[in-house]
Structure 1
Amino acid sequence: MTDLALGFADPVREAQATFKAVMWAISRPGNRMPLATGLKPPAPLTPEMAACVLAVADYETPLWLDAKLAARAEVLDFLRFHTGAPILAEPGEARLALISDPAALPPLTDFAQGTPEYPDRSTTLILAVDDLTDAPFTLEGPGIKHTRRFGAAPLPADFAARWADNRLLFPLGVDLIFTTSGLVSALPRSTRITAEA
């Protein structure tokens, strides 16, 4: 039980700071926002991914975990203990999906897309990437004055095509939050991306 107790040291302040960083990232697609956390969750759950989940999930937030996360009982116990969130075997009903191996990202259509009446009933995917960069994508859309350069690694080779299909579903579709050491960034479904030729 000792490891399970290692959540936010100051739950209110740290959850608020994390939530603020995530909201800034979503409102400014592709920007890299600082995300400081002292969390030490069980691997392969990263501190930044854990902070995002603890800040936004509760007992009414169904979670889906990729294979690497779902295989670790310590990760399941940590998430259940700190959020109370149900953990689902299938991604289609999840409100949050945690992806520790983004190179093996499942098809975005596997996740909840929302409905015309309730587009917010879609899945938000939180990915733990090794790096956030300024290539190979150009972003356009709400929250971007002209264009913005963006990259994350690793991602599937066909990520740009997958995202284009997701963008065509707007206002339905999924949103992505990228986490890496000390940073968070996001691609909301309204964002258009163009890959370098």
Structure 2
Amino acid sequence: MSAVQLEGGFAHLSHDAAHAFRAALQAMARPGRIESVALARPPAPCSPAAGALILTLCDTTTPIHLAPSHDDAGLRAWIAFHTGAPLVAPEDAMFALGTWGALCPVDRFAIGTSAYPDRAATLIVEMDALEAKGAVLRGPGIKDRGALSLPEVAAFQDNRRRFPLGFDCYFTCGDRLAGLPRSTHVEG
């Protein structure tokens, strides 16, 4: 095992995990709000924000899919060492990590069932830029309207039409993250 696989986790496990968990909750509860989490140092191509989400939300019971953009031996080993999360095919994933283009088509991911809508996947989408501008967001957790630089609009509008089914998303760029739950209305 190399030093890259062993390093890059939370330096102060309980404190850093609590900070990252709060940021993840705030981002999902307030769509369009951008949070900062610079507590993890995963190997490339994974961003610090995406690494913090993986360290916080994934464990041996949460299968994760690595899209081709992020399916790297070093990242696989880092995830295995720090979380023990099993790596799986898209249709079996509770979490998926990659760029939007590499994660598409997104209809491969679980959207839950009418009896268990919570059994949907959460996509962690790595972005080149993440800004509170672009697509207009409305719905729960948003006072009037919000905005977020999404990779596209149509897929998120289709996802909203399935509510209460559908996938949820985190968008990450560097040490920044934002959430987009399936309950959010997205306008171009």
Aligned counterpart, 1:75: 75
User: TM-score, structure 1 length as denominator?
Assistant: 0.90
Which AA in structure 2 matches 1:97? Answer: A
1:164 Cα deviation after fit: 1.0
Aligned counterpart, 2:149: 151
1:108 Cα deviation after fit: 2.2
Which digits, 9 at most, give the CA deviation of each residue in 1:16-52, with x for residues without a partner? 1101000000000011112222x32211112111111
- 1:138-177 → structure 2 map (5 Å cutoff): 138-152=136-150, 155=151, 159-177=152-170
Aligned counterpart, 1:124: 122
Aligned counterpart, 2:85: 85
- Report if aligned partners of 1:29, 1:186 keep a CA contact under 8 Å in 2: yes
- Report if aligned partners of 2:109, 2:167 keep a CA contact under 8 Å in 1: yes
State the distance in 2 between where 1:52 and 1:82 align. Answer: 12
User: TM-score, structure 2 length as denominator?
Assistant: 0.94
- Report if aligned partners of 2:137, 2:146 keep a CA contact under 8 Å in 1: yes
Aligned counterpart, 1:189: 182
Q: Which secondary structure does the structure 2 equivalent of 1:58 belong to?
A: coil
1:102 Cα deviation after fit: 2.2
State the distance in 2 between where 1:104 and 1:4 align. Answer: 23
Which digits, 9 at most, give the CA deviation of each residue in 1:116-146, with x for residues without a partner? 1111111000111121123321100000111
Higher normalized strand content (fraction of residues): 1
Aligned counterpart, 2:63: 62
Aligned counterpart, 2:105: 107
- Percent identity reads 39
State the distance in 2 between where 1:49 and 1:126 align. Answer: 7
Q: Which runs of 5+ in 1 are unaligned?
A: none
Q: Which secondary structure does the structure 1 equivalent of 2:153 belong to?
A: helix
RMSD (Å), alpha carbons: 1.2
1:13 Cα deviation after fit: 1.0
- Report if aligned partners of 1:108, 1:166 keep a CA contact under 8 Å in 2: no
- Report if aligned partners of 1:107, 1:162 keep a CA contact under 8 Å in 2: no
State the distance in 2 between where 1:79 and 1:172 align. Answer: 28
- Report if aligned partners of 2:33, 2:132 keep a CA contact under 8 Å in 1: no
Check if 1:3 corresponds to 2:4: yes
Aligned counterpart, 1:95: 94
Which digits, 9 at most, give the CA deviation of each residue in 1:146-171, with x for residues without a partner? 1112214xx2xxx2111111111101
Q: Which runs of 5+ in 2 are unaligned?
A: none
- Report if aligned partners of 2:67, 2:102 keep a CA contact under 8 Å in 1: no
